[in-house]
Amino acid sequence: MAIEWSKTALGIELGSTRIKAVLVDEKNVPLASGDHEWENRYENGIWTYSQEDILQGLQSAYQSLKQSVREKYGVTLRTMGAIGISAMMHGYLVFDKEDNLLVPFRTWRNNNAEEAARLLTEEFSYPIPARWSIAHLYQAILKNEAHVKDIAFQTTLEGYVHYLLTGEKVIGIGEASGMFPVDPKMKGYRADLIEKFDELVAPYHLPFALKDILPEILLAGEAAGRLTKEGAALLDPEGDLEEGILLAPPEGDAGTGMVATNAVRPGTGNVSAGTSIFAMIVLEKELSKVYPEIDLVTTPMGDLVGMVHCNNCTSDLNAWVGMFGEFASLLGVSLSKAKLFDLLYFTAEKGEKDCGGLLSYNYVSNENITRVEEGRPLFVRTSEGKFNLANVMRANLYASMATLKLGCDIMLRKEGVKVERVMGHGGLFKTERVGQSFLAAALNAPVTVMETAGEGGAWGMAVLANFLLSGEKDLATYLDTQVFAGQKGVTIHPDPEDVQGFDDYAKRYEAGLPIVREAVSCLKEKKEC
């Protein structure tokens, strides 16, 4: 058995609402999985997870996997061929020379670094979003935060967990490209921009140079250290896990999403849709200019990617579905969550192509692309709007990807970027056909969902761990021949009427954005319009 022969790979991904662990065999077939649900906290104006949350969640997900292995195969999980750690991208984790966390973890969800992001974008002539690690660092410098003078190491969530397990201060190039701009040709941080940043902050007399506090960049397929005795005890407090296991470079959820959808070649793209939604399109050449709506990141092999990242996707949609579930309970009807979602999603297909004039804004948190500073979920309609269940659900589903469409239209329509296929994965696609067909309409491109789409980024990270073990050099070829060959998927082509309907909805959506911004201004504590 593969589990007993160490012919397995383990992928762990720390997502926004769930930490998932997936164990696969040498052919990347899932053998067992485990998970742990968690939620970020809003404390002192910052979205964060505590160190205790991170460690307990990591251990809980692993123990859940271990129990699954024991129940399915009657063995105790003690070792595997390789491990890979992934997590939500970006954010701010800084430590002193004794490895003490200097300030609470600032996640990608925070927008408190917008001033720094704007200044760096202008200085670098390169898009620097507010959620990027370098923006958080520069904002802390601009604000003269006391902790900055003590920084010895900066990383992201998966880089932190990887360090705890191996003692290695490294990061995969895909995640590195969301910390600081990288050079796709040189496969490293942009040296010219490193120098420019150091010059920019010289008046603050910092005791470090930027290159000295950033993690070392590694490419997919390169060894990133081994599990230490302390790391094994941290991951498995029961003491069964053995030290010495090889680890792959830690990657962000964008990179594992590309792997999980076989979208690492130029001309391919993928959309990950869960708590947040983002599109990744692998570019054949650089864009003609800087667009604040588009991040420039890379694949796990360092190829340039145009990324449109939206903070909000399914949270508000889930709240609407939950409310209808409460109503069903009042009627004495017991429905599983999956059945409830299916019923409401399929009902949305019966709605009018433009949602009958209804509008939904799903902004549970801020949204940088549309310049909405705080979360204000809204449902808007005129008196002539056709307010019925099908249109309401269709409007909510459209809202989950409307901001993404605004950003992607810049690449696909203004820049003329060609994309042969878009692969979809994440919770939005669990109900067959509906979310997939609406996304095809939003992007006016074919959208494919593979059988493995439900496995998500943890599975993608396990694949990267297996890629390390394989000794192969080209990730795209490995995915084509060793992972996705013969796999079944469903492709939906855009319906012209749906495309026109979504375009009409998007025009109203964009025109109505001042309503949301005004709600942010008006609906504040102890403040009246």
Helix (H) and strand (E) counts for the chain? Answer: 18, 23
528 is a domain residue? no
Q: Record the tokens describing residue 269, joined without a space.
A: 């793209």
475-488: b or e for each residue (b if 16 or more CB lie within 10 Å)?
bbebbeebbbeeee
Give yes or no: residues 341 and 430 share one domain. Answer: no
Rg (alpha carbons) of the chain, rounded to whole number: 23
Q: Record the tokens describing residue 398, joined without a space.
A: 């459209």
What confidence tens digit (pLDDT) does each residue in 402-441 have? 999 999 999 999 999 989 889 988 888 989 999 999 999 9
Q: Which one of 205, 234, 252 terminates a domain?
A: 252
Q: Are 80 and 240 in contact (CB under 8 A)?
A: no
Q: Which one of 236, 252, 268 terminates a domain?
A: 252
Give yes or no: residues 248 and 147 share one domain. Answer: yes
Give yes or no: residues 483 and 503 share one domain. Answer: no
Q: What's the confidence (pLDDT) of residue 161?
A: 98
Specify the 3-state DSSP secondary structure of 95.
strand
Strands 82-87 and 246-247: parallel
Flag residues of the chain having pLDDT under 50: 526-529
Give yes or no: residues 477 and 501 share one domain. Answer: no
527 is a domain residue? no
57 is a domain residue? yes
What confidence tens digit (pLDDT) does each residue in 309-347 have? 898 999 999 999 999 999 999 999 999 999 999 999 999
pTM of this prediction?
0.84
208 is a domain residue? yes
Give yes or no: residues 189 and 292 share one domain. Answer: no
Those residues whose C-beta lies under 8 Å from the C-beta of residue 246, and which sit 6 or more positions away, are: 81, 82, 83, 223, 225, 226, 227, 468, 469
The domain containing residue 387 runs over which residues? 315-405+497-522
279-296: b or e for each residue (b if 16 or more CB lie within 10 Å)?
bbbbbeeebeeebbbbbb
Q: Which one of 215, 235, 252 terminates a domain?
A: 252
Distances in Å between the Cα of 364 and the Cα atoms of 106, 316, 358, 380 are: 18, 6, 19, 15
457 is a domain residue? yes
The number of residues in the chain equals: 529
Q: Are 130 and 116 in contact (CB under 8 A)?
A: yes
Q: What's the confidence (pLDDT) of residue 454?
A: 54
431 is a domain residue? yes
Q: Is the dihedral of CA 232, 234, 235, 241 positive or negative?
A: positive
Give yes or no: residues 181 and 248 share one domain. Answer: yes
195 is a domain residue? yes
Give yes or no: residues 25 and 163 share one domain. Answer: yes
Q: Record the tokens describing residue 58, joined without a space.
A: 């990591």
CATH of the domain at 19: 3.30.420.40
Give yes or no: residues 57 and 143 share one domain. Answer: yes
Q: Are 208 and 288 in contact (CB under 8 A)?
A: no
Give yes or no: residues 112 and 180 share one domain. Answer: yes
Give yes or no: residues 231 and 118 share one domain. Answer: yes
Number of domains in the chain: 3
Give yes or no: residues 22 and 134 share one domain. Answer: yes
Residues 360/365/370/371 CA torsion (nearest 10 deg) = 140
410 is a domain residue? no
Distances in Å between the Cα of 507 and the Cα atoms of 206, 221, 321, 355, 500 are: 47, 44, 26, 12, 11
| Amino acid at position 106, single letter | R
d(CA 309, CA 322): 25
Give yes or no: residues 235 and 94 share one domain. Answer: yes
Q: Which helix (H) or strand (E) holds 466?
A: helix 456-470
